[in-house]
């Protein structure tokens, strides 16, 4: 029989905002967003106080201020967040080498055979949380289960400062009561679409056959069929080198006209650029993706000779790619932008900027 794995998922709580509160104690108890309050600013994250007002990641700063007029904006300090992320990673490495980082503040750990010989994954998770608190003065939430899907859902279930365990025997019942929006890969648009068919919980999904799941989820039918039954055999993949960074949005109402499209594109560019900057990467290639109301999808790429180092250059490239696509006759259903061809090395970027964008 296959050995039951012990997977822990760790996710720092309101990460950037918690670091700001830690370093600026006068912020304690007040609603805080990390980001810029400028006209086109976007909230990177908000503390739990601000979330009570409906402020959340990726929201425009303007809307955030409408929802919470006394919101305090803190400019991001990526170097500090990266340093904390490294400290947390060093703690993980004391337990296992099977670490799969998902983002700056999240990782999966396979602790089945851990370095400290601790039998209980719950005790491993408690230890990690305690060490994170002592070393960084910050809290993390932990999820413990026998696969990645359930461990990630578990860490989200009891946030902040949570520890939630899903035992194999409880998995199917646990999944049954989950709202579909909590499933990996089901965003607000899909959630709404499923809701129209009366599919609201895991139990609703558990009733479908594999063929029916494939009708709903296309090529992901098998994946969803398995996970609603608590089956997820994906391994914890160590040091998966990211080859690209991208962000895309499907719109509830198709976008019409260049103003709307350029505005949304700018938002997506900011998300991508934040991620790339946080990861300390430089990119050469920019790719733009548009899907029209009739589902036709177009992608366009441009590769720069030098690594792109400024947001302005990235924005100029993305915008010039957009001008090559004629979307005047059709609504835009999905918009995406990404960068690839990455390096860690800071280069002499932008040398030829003035030549390229004259
Ligand atoms: P998350 O773990 O998604 O969020 P969080 O840690 O702020 O809050 P939670 O307690 O719910 O885990 O993201 C980690 C950090 O990544 C977050 O602090 C800021 C950054 N981030 C962005 O810059 N833009 C985004 O759209 C998101 C989702 C996160
Ligand atoms: Mg987090």
Task: CATH number of the domain at 68, please.
Answer: 3.40.1170.60
Q: DSSP secondary structure string, 233-300?
A: -----TT----EEEEEEEEEEEE-SHHHHHHHHHHHHHHHHHHHHHTT-EEEEEEEEEEETT--EEEE
The pLDDT of residue 187 is 85
The pLDDT of residue 58 is 87
SS3 306: strand
**Residue where one domain finishes, among candidates 54, 76, 98:** 76
Cα 1 to Cα 21: distance, rounded to the nearest angstrom: 48
Checking 84-91 for CB contacts under 8 A at 24+ apart, the result is 84/12, 84/19, 84/136, 84/138, 87/135, 87/136, 88/10, 88/12, 88/132, 88/135, 88/136, 88/140, 91/128, 91/131, 91/132, 91/135
Q: What are phi and psi of 301, to 5 degrees?
A: -125, 155
How many structural domains does the chain have?
Answer: 4
Q: Are residues 98 and 159 in the same domain?
A: yes
Q: Are residues 71 and 107 in the same domain?
A: no
- Encoding tokens for residue 264? 């949304």
Going by CA atoms, what residue is nearest to atom 27 of ligand 1?
57
161 domain residue, yes or no = yes
The pLDDT of residue 3 is 82
Side by side, the strands of the sheet bearing 32-35 are: 43-46, 32-35, 72-74
**Residue where one domain finishes, among candidates 128, 152, 170:** 170
Ligand 1 pocket test: which of 15, 77, 138 has the largest number of ligand atoms within 8 Å of its C-beta?
Answer: 15
* Boundaries of domain holding 136: 7-14+79-170
- Encoding tokens for residue 1? 């029989």
Say yes or no: CB of residue 157 within 6 Å of ligand 1.
no
Task: State the CATH number of the domain containing residue 301.
Answer: 3.30.1490.100
Torsion of CA 37, 42, 47, 49, to 10 degrees: 60
Say yes or no: CB of residue 18 within 6 Å of ligand 1.
no
Q: Are residues 41 and 131 in the same domain?
A: no
Q: Are residues 261 and 342 in the same domain?
A: yes
236 domain residue, yes or no = no
Q: Are residues 187 and 141 in the same domain?
A: no
Are 46 and 183 a contacting pair, CB within 8 Å?
A: no
Q: Are residues 119 and 131 in the same domain?
A: yes
Q: Give the containing element (helix H, strand E) for 142.
A: strand 140-145
- Encoding tokens for residue 93? 């490495």
SS3 74: strand
- Encoding tokens for residue 321? 């790619």
Q: Are residues 204 and 222 in the same domain?
A: yes
267 domain residue, yes or no = yes
The pLDDT of residue 260 is 94
127 domain residue, yes or no = yes
Cα 304 to Cα 310: distance, rounded to the nearest angstrom: 13
Q: Give the containing element (helix H, strand E) for 210.
A: helix 210-217
Grouped pLDDT means (10 residues each) for the chain, 358 residues? 89 98 96 90 94 94 96 94 94 95 94 95 98 98 98 96 98 97 87 94 97 91 96 88 87 90 96 89 94 89 88 95 91 95 68 36
232 domain residue, yes or no = no
336 domain residue, yes or no = yes
117 domain residue, yes or no = yes
Cα 206 to averaged position of ligand 1 atoms, centre (Å): 30
Q: Are residues 83 and 107 in the same domain?
A: yes
The pLDDT of residue 354 is 35
- Residue 58's region, left for phi above 0, alpha for psi from -120 to 50, else beta, is left
Could you tell me how far CA 275 lies from the centroid of its own chain? 10
Q: Give the containing element (helix H, strand E) for 9.
A: strand 7-12
Task: State the CATH number of the domain containing residue 100.
Answer: 3.30.70.270
Q: Are residues 54 and 22 in the same domain?
A: yes
Q: Are residues 113 and 70 in the same domain?
A: no
Q: Are residues 88 and 67 in the same domain?
A: no
**Residue where one domain finishes, among candidates 132, 147, 170:** 170
SS3 305: strand
The pLDDT of residue 349 is 55
235 domain residue, yes or no = no
Catalytic residue among 106, 126, 134, 346: 106
Task: State the CATH number of the domain containing residue 184.
Answer: 1.10.150.20
| Cα torsion angle, 216, 221, 223, 226, sign | positive
The pLDDT of residue 328 is 87
Q: Are residues 159 and 102 in the same domain?
A: yes
Q: Which residues line ion ligand 2, judged by CB < 5 Å?
A: 11-12, 15, 105
């Amino acid at each position: 029989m296959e050995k039951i794995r012990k997977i822990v998922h760790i996710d720092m709580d309101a990460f950037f905002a918690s670091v700001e509160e830690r370093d600026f104690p006068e912020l304690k108890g007040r609603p805080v967003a990390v980001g810029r309050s400028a006209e086109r600013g976007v909230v990177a994250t908000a503390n739990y106080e601000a979330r009570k007002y409906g402020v959340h990641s990726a929201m425009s700063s303007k809307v955030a201020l409408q929802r919470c007029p006394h919101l305090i904006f803190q400019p991001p300090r990526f170097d500090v967040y990266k340093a904390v992320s490294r400290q947390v990673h060093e703690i993980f490495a004391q337990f296992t080498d099977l670490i799969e980082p998902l983002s700056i503040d999240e990782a999966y750990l396979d602790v089945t055979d851990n370095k400290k010989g601790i039998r209980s994954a719950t005790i491993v998770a408690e230890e990690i949380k305690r060490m994170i608190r002592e070393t960084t003065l910050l809290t993390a939430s932990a999820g413990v289960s026998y696969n990645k899907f359930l461990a990630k859902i578990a860490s989200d279930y009891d946030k902040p400062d949570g520890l939630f365990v899903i035992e194999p025997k409880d998995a199917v019942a646990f999944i049954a009561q989950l709202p579909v929006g909590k499933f990996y890969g089901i965003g607000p648009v899909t959630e709404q679409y499923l809701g129209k068919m009366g599919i609201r919980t895991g139990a609703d999904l558990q009733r479908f056959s594999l063929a029916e799941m494939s009708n709903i989820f296309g090529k992901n039918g098998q994946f969803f069929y398995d996970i609603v039954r608590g089956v997820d055999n994906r391994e914890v993949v160590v040091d998966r080198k990211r080859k690209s960074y991208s962000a895309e949005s499907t719109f509830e109402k198709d976008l019409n006209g260049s103003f709307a499209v350029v505005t949304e594109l700018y938002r997506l560019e900011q998300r991508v650029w934040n991620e790339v900057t946080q990861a300390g990467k430089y990119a050469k290639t920019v790719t733009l993706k548009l899907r029209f109301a009739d589902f036709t999808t177009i992608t366009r790429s441009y590769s720069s000779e030098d690594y792109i180092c400024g947001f302005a250059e990235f924005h100029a490239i993305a915008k010039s790619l957009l001008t090559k696509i004629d979307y005047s006759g059709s609504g835009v259903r999905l918009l995406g932008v990404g960068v690839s061809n990455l390096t860690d090395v800071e280069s002499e970027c932008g040398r030829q900027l003035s030549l390229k964008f004259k």
